[in-house]
Amino acid sequence: MLPFAIELRAGLPVAEQIVFAVKKAVVGGQLRPGDKFPSVRVLSQELRINPNTAHKVIAALVAAGVLVTTPAIGSIVAERAMGGRQEKAELLGDELERVVVEAKKLGLSLAEVQAGLTAHWKKLGGK
């Protein structure tokens, strides 16, 4: 069982979706600094993806400072991985970009998107 949740969606690169899911798990506390991360083999088997894609995911997470790879231990969540407000804002920025792209495809105005965002915020208990 993987230490993060993901539902792969069509139209987005698989590796990007997995990297996003891992970052989200780190920000949300599902993955904590020092936690062992699955190997390329485990990742590819569990997600039913090509091992090259799994390797690409781990390499991207290492490059982003989310994971640290140590010989004889493998990959672990870095001590200062995605903990600050800036990292959280960047993670949200990726999601907001997707929302904006979809809104533009649908021909929605900025005001309509803001109204929708406000409605969802209030629905989930935001003030």
Q: Where are the alpha helices (DSSP H) in the chain?
A: 14-27, 40-47, 51-63, 85-106, 110-123
Model pTM? 0.70
Are 113 and 103 in contact, with CB atoms under 8 Å apart?
A: yes
Gap between the Cα atoms of 69 and 112, Å rounded = 45
14-77 maps to which CATH number?
1.10.10.10
Domain boundaries, the chain: 14-77, 85-123
Cα distances from 84 to residues 5, 26, 36, 80, in angstroms, run 22, 11, 21, 8
Residue 110's pLDDT band, with cuts at 50, 70 and 90, is: very high
pLDDT in tens, 77-102: 998 765 567 766 776 777 788 888 88
Give the single-character DSSP code of 35: P
